[in-house]
A and B are shown apart, each in its own frame.
Chain A
Amino acid sequence: MALVLIGLSKVFDTKNGDAPLHVLKDINCRVEEGMFVSVVGPSGCGKTTLLRIIAGLERSSSGKVLIDGREIAYDTDRIGLVFQEYALFPWFTTLQNIQLGLEIMGIPKRKRLAAAMNYIHRFGLSGFENRYPRELSGGMQQRVAIARTLIIDPKVTLMDEPFGSLDSQTRNDLQAFLLSLWETQRVTIIFVTHNVDEAVFLSDEILVFSSRPASIINRFPVDCPRPRDRTSPACNAVRKRVLEALEAAKKGPLPAAQESEVLPSCRR
Chain B
Amino acid sequence: MIDYSADLYDPIYAELGVPATMTAGATVANLIVLDKTRRKTVASGASRVQPHSNGAEVSSVGPGVNVRVYELAALGITAANWDGALLTFNGRSWIVRKGDVLGSPNGEDFGEVWLLLKEAAVG
Decide if A and B are genuine partners.
Answer: no
Question: Which A residues contact B (CB, under 8 angstroms)?
Answer: none
